[in-house]
Amino acid sequence: MSTCLPLQLSFADLLIKECIWVGNISPSVSDAQLCEHFRPYGDITYERDNSNQTALIFFRHKDNAQKALESTHGQQLMGSKLQVQVQ
């Protein structure tokens, strides 16, 4: 079972994780819904900025981040077309 946790890592932890940036997240999308959308690609931690409708999604493996990018860029989530980029 995959995990999805709010970001609670040290700076050093961030350096070893693969990260994607997600933009255009509808304000109506809950953290749980965001996790549900990205969890199929692997265990994640995330940091969300509701004021900018963005999130950073951290994966343990580069391949998982790449699959998430390829599969979710341009997808609709609660009426908004997601913008996804590798960080």
Task: Give the residue from 68, 61, 63, 76 showing the smallest Cα distance to 40.
Answer: 68
**Count of structural domains within the chain:** 1
pLDDT digit string (tens) for the chain, length 87 residues: 566 666 665 655 555 568 999 999 999 999 999 999 999 999 898 999 989 999 999 998 899 999 999 999 999 999 999 999 987
Q: What is the CATH number of the domain that holds 63?
A: 3.30.70.330
What does the longest C-alpha to C-alpha distance in the chain come to? 36
Task: Match 């599969």 to its residue by tokens.
Answer: 71
Range of the structural domain that residue 54 is part of: 4-86
- Give CA–CA dist 66/6, Å, rounded: 21
pTM of the predicted model as reported, rounded to 2 decimal places: 0.81
**3-state SS, residue 27:** coil
